[in-house]
Structure 1
Amino acid sequence: MEFHFLGTGAGIPSKGRNVSSLALRFMTNREGDVWLFDCGESTQHQILHTNLKLWQISKIFITHMHGDHLYGLPGVLGSRSFQGAENPLTVYGPKGIHEFVTAALETSRTYLKYPLEIVEYEDGYVENDDGYQIEVSLLEHVIPSFGIRVTEPSQPGRLLVEKLKEFDVPPGPVYKKLKDGKTVTLEDGRSLNGADFLGEEQLGRVITVCGDTRPSEKTAKLARNADLLIHEATFAEGMEDQAIDYYHSTTIQAAEIAKNANVKRLILNHISSRYHDQSDELLESAVRVFANTELAHDLDIFHLTKRKGT
């Protein structure tokens, strides 16, 4: 998985940070499929600075209806069509997303060449797409704001070809059956169990992406044992009271959520423009609480590799 941070700022764009947008690109299993989380102003322009293409986007999740998270959506939808995309796209979001998208397309007379589905989700929404489970949970913000948890299906381990050679099993269709974990009978009468010739299972990764929120047990529950948590950090250490009042989080509070939820890795984003030259200080404060913390900047790319297990 690749995570392309297209916009990492809070509220309004600044010279250093655009407003919220994150692209998740699947490097295996989904053939370069891209899911977009939020779509703030100028998202399509930020994409021009990457190797991503609009036609690759198959899902767009809008965490909440504040402008810094969705004003770029009409442009992305229109340009995706202008560039010739014909593959389907699904837009997910809170109540109101259907009205927003429909009004923008109709009043601008934008015709889409591809099928567009709009899903308005509520707290507890669950969807399964080709083995990928998507769970949505309501967080705590001034308007309904959601977090999304994506669980990847586990994959069988690689076929141990060298071990098969040791058993004098020649390459052929039997390899595919063994790879699928089936038991096969060879021409010489030997019976082989595919499970005996597979490496460690590749466990499905779990990621949680949060919209704007103040710290909440709901967030910790959604992120529980995740491989990666992406969480807002609008305010710096020492601004905890203001964060609570304005329904946002500080770097410290986000790190505490990650620690309490037993996640493996935390990436902070949604940084206020007031901290344009304080990235190091923001990160240092979070690392004191949760060591495996990183802070995203616009156009940063983070990778999440598969983990192995039994």
Structure 2
Amino acid sequence: MQLTFLGTSAGKPTKERNVSALGLEFQQDDKWYLFDCGEATQHQIMRSRLSSGKLSTIFITHLHGDHYFGLPGLLSSKKLDTAFRPLSIYGPKGIKRFLECVLDVSFENLGYELKIIEFEADDLFVFDKFSLKVLALEHSVESFAFYIKENDITNKINEEKLRAIGMEPSALYGELQKGNTIVFRGEELHPEDFMLTPIEGRRVILAGDNVRPDILGEYLEGIDLLVHECTYTQADYDRLKVKVLHTTAKDLGETSQKRDVKNLIASHINPRYNKHASEGVEVIYNEIQQSYKGRLYIADDFDVYRLSRECVIEKL
């Protein structure tokens, strides 16, 4: 499982960071999935190893512009690139009206099938390699997280055990994988005797804007990877005259430690934390680390991370 961060800034683009977008890929797959699509996401895709032609599905966490204003340009360019693969977009109520208005006013004829699905909290969607549950967050507009559960691998054949009894790879392997009893050298072989222990699918939460990480409750417990916004340090948030509903580094660290989150990537960083300011992203990292003892990263644009089968995250 591989994640490519295409935009990691909160609210507006900066010279260092574009606004929210994240690509997700699975092993041995010919497509990828996009989570949020802030302005200029198509430019970020062109600068990455991802291809708009292989983009299968887009998920939008909420209807703030820095999370979906990049959709019209991306949809239009997909046509100009003659990338006519069907595309599905999942988003909160209102995303359908927005896209239909844009396409109507611009007289855009996409030339490919576009499906727009509006979801609600607790909706469950099943894809070929994973299931996705929509979880409600707390923000100034309806905002959601996506709980992704990779399919378990249950049909892995014990090839070593079969070779030990003299059976070389053949169509009989496939019959066992399908759950069928076979006959080999006059003896019945039952599938349950020649299958490896199932490999549990990885569990990931990709969250939109949210003031209270613990609202995710039991879904956080022992999660293999949490990708969550972290817009402010606690001190900077406390000094705001007008409070905005975003997560602080202190809250994110404490919640992740309490819920035994295995790997944590913080994103959606406020523009005030940059390389030319008195405080860079290290203040976010340090504040999270005061309470969180798991594997921690602060995402930058074009960072690529791999979550291994052993549920260890590494930056590539």
Whether TM-score is above 0.5 comes out as yes
- The Cα shift of 1:245 comes to 2.8
- The Cα shift of 1:307 comes to 4.0
Q: TM-score, normalised by structure 2?
A: 0.90
Q: TM-score, normalised by structure 1?
A: 0.92
Mark the CA change 1:281 to 1:241 in structure 2 (over 3 Å): closer, same or farther. closer
Is this contact kept in 2: 1:141–1:214, CA < 8 A?
A: yes
Is this contact kept in 2: 1:137–1:222, CA < 8 A?
A: no
1:268 pairs, out of 252, 266, 269, with 266
In structure 2, the partner of 1:21 is 21
Structure 2 unaligned residues grouped into runs of 5+? 312-316
Structure 1 stretch displaced more, 255-264 or 77-86? 255-264
- The Cα shift of 1:89 comes to 1.1
Query: Which SS does the other structure have where 1:230 is aligned?
Result: strand
- The Cα shift of 1:150 comes to 1.1
Structure 1 stretch displaced more, 96-105 or 159-168? 159-168
Is this contact kept in 2: 1:4–1:300, CA < 8 A?
A: yes
- The Cα shift of 1:77 comes to 0.9
1:53 aligns with 2:51: yes
Structure 1 stretch displaced more, 34-43 or 200-209? 200-209
In structure 1, the partner of 2:187 is 190
- Runs (4+) of structure 1 exceeding 6 A deviation are none
Query: Which SS does the other structure have where 2:6 is aligned?
Result: strand
Query: Which SS does the other structure have where 1:137 is aligned?
Result: strand
Is this contact kept in 2: 1:220–1:258, CA < 8 A?
A: no
In structure 1, the partner of 2:314 is none
Query: Which SS does the other structure have where 2:10 is aligned?
Result: coil
**Within 2, Cα distance between the matches of 1:65 and 1:2?**
26
Is this contact kept in 2: 1:8–1:296, CA < 8 A?
A: yes
1:165 pairs, out of 153, 163, 180, with 163
1:200 aligns with 2:203: no
**Within 1, Cα distance between the matches of 2:112 and 2:258?**
43
In structure 2, the partner of 1:98 is 96
Is this contact kept in 2: 1:237–1:282, CA < 8 A?
A: no
1:4 aligns with 2:4: yes
**Within 2, Cα distance between the matches of 1:98 and 1:148?**
19
1:279 aligns with 2:281: yes
Q: In the alignment, residue 17 of structure 2 is paired with which amino acid?
A: R
1:119-158 → structure 2 map (5 Å cutoff): 119-130=117-128, 132-156=130-154, 158=156
- The Cα shift of 1:112 comes to 0.9
Structure 1 stretch displaced more, 267-276 or 252-261? 252-261
In structure 1, the partner of 2:308 is 305
In structure 1, the partner of 2:298 is 295
**Within 1, Cα distance between the matches of 2:204 and 2:49?**
22
Structure 1 stretch displaced more, 148-157 or 225-234? 148-157
**Within 2, Cα distance between the matches of 1:242 and 1:125?**
37
Is this contact kept in 1: 2:129–2:150, CA < 8 A?
A: yes
- The Cα shift of 1:178 comes to 2.5
**Within 2, Cα distance between the matches of 1:128 and 1:170?**
35
Q: In the alignment, residue 257 of structure 1 is paired with which amino acid?
A: T
**Within 2, Cα distance between the matches of 1:223 and 1:240?**
24
**Within 1, Cα distance between the matches of 2:310 and 2:198?**
9
**Within 1, Cα distance between the matches of 2:197 and 2:287?**
37
Query: Which SS does the other structure have where 2:284 is aligned?
Result: helix
1:231 aligns with 2:223: no
Structure 1 stretch displaced more, 58-67 or 196-205? 196-205
Q: In the alignment, residue 220 of structure 1 is paired with which amino acid?
A: G
- The Cα shift of 1:15 comes to 0.7
Mark the CA change 1:225 to 1:242 in structure 2 (over 3 Å): closer, same or farther. farther
Structure 1 stretch displaced more, 13-22 or 55-64? 55-64
Q: In the alignment, residue 309 of structure 2 is paired with which amino acid?
A: K
1:78 pairs, out of 76, 79, 88, with 76
